[in-house]
């Protein structure tokens, strides 16, 4: 049995064409099914539906052989023991710093004053601002980061940006582009040895679908 861990939403939707290229079709829609283990047209391949931030953990501990997860999640939650053979170029976005449009970010950074930053990406933010020599107080949030500057709780946020519409709707502007994000295929290293042929077949099918 080959087990693939995926999160619902963008990653799941954008993975379906890659699975199809490997001859794998998921038989149920995670948006309508309550099942957490989805069967595929291949009796020896199944899909686990897990939270995006849990994908590396499932693969690391062998709950799944393979998983697909964002570079943001791998950087923030660690990627120990995971083989990362492919950047799948899906669920693309960027991690950026954003502030209220009336906040003078360049001066705040230049003056060396402390910046309060709300984010769920504490590790990425800490590294980014440390490299710039900017002192930050980080406030960990789990969602709706955009609110924090609007209610005066933070000077800035660090969050994923795709079209920029969410920032615009909340009168925030992007002031720094920290890094580009896309989703990666991650593989459990022991599974890669024990189930080499079927896992290689999936990696190769994904790679050829991506033109690699
Ligand atoms: P947008 O309005 O298109 O810039 O999207 C921004 C919102 O969508 C933010 O709340 C992000 O956290 C979320 N978002 C954007 N891209 C992604 C992605 N690739 N994966 C997960 N969440 C995303």
Of the residues 8, 9, 124, 166, which should be mutated to test ligand 1's pocket, given the most ligand atoms within 8 Å of the CB?
Answer: 166
In the chain, the largest separation of any two C-alpha atoms, in whole Å, equals 61
Same domain, 191 and 86: yes
Same domain, 73 and 103: no
pTM, rounded to two decimals: 0.94
Same domain, 168 and 196: no
Q: Whose CA is nearest to atom 12 of ligand 1?
A: 160
Q: Is the dihedral of CA 177, 183, 185, 190 positive or negative?
A: positive
* 135 contacts 156 by C-beta, under 8 angstroms: no
Q: What is the pLDDT of residues 141-182, one digit of tens each?
A: 999 999 999 999 999 999 999 999 999 999 999 999 999 999
Q: Give the span between the Cα atoms of 135 and 129, in whole angstroms.
A: 7
CATH code for the domain of 170: 3.40.190.10
| Domain residue limits at 115 | 93-180
Share of the chain above pLDDT 90, in %: 94
What's the total number of domains in the chain? 2
Q: Give the span between the Cα atoms of 161 and 21, in whole angstroms.
A: 29
Which residues touch 54 (CB under 8 Å, ≥6 apart)? 5
The mean per-residue pLDDT over the stretch 39-65 comes to: 97
Q: Give the span between the Cα atoms of 124 and 42, in whole angstroms.
A: 38
* 184 contacts 202 by C-beta, under 8 angstroms: no
Q: What is the pLDDT of residues 4-26, one digit of tens each?
A: 999 999 999 999 999 999 999 99
């Amino acid at each position: 049995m080959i087990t693939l861990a995926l999160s619902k939403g963008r990653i799941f939707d954008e993975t379906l064409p890659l699975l199809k290229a490997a001859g794998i079709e998921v038989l149920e829609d995670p948006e309508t099914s309550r099942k957490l283990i989805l069967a595929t047209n291949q009796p020896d391949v199944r899909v686990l539906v897990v939270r995006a931030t849990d994908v590396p953990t499932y693969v690391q501990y062998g709950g799944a052989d393979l998983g697909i997860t964002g570079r943001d999640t791998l950087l923030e939650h660690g990627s120990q023991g995971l083989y990362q053979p492919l950047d799948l170029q899906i669920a693309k976005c960027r991690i950026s710093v954003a502030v209220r449009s009336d906040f003078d970010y360049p001066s705040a950074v230049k003056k060396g004053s402390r910046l309060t930053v709300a984010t769920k990406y504490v590790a990425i933010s800490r590294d980014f601002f440390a490299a710039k020599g900017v002192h930050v107080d980080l406030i960990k949030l789990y969602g709706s980061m955009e609110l924090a500057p609007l209610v005066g709780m933070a000077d800035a946020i660090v969050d994923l940006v795709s079209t920029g519409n969410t920032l615009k709707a909340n009168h925030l502007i992007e002031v720094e582009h920290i890094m580009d994000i896309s989703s990666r295929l991650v593989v459990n290293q022991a599974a890669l040895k024990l189930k080499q042929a079927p896992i290689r077949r999936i990696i190769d099918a994904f790679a050829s679908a991506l033109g690699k």
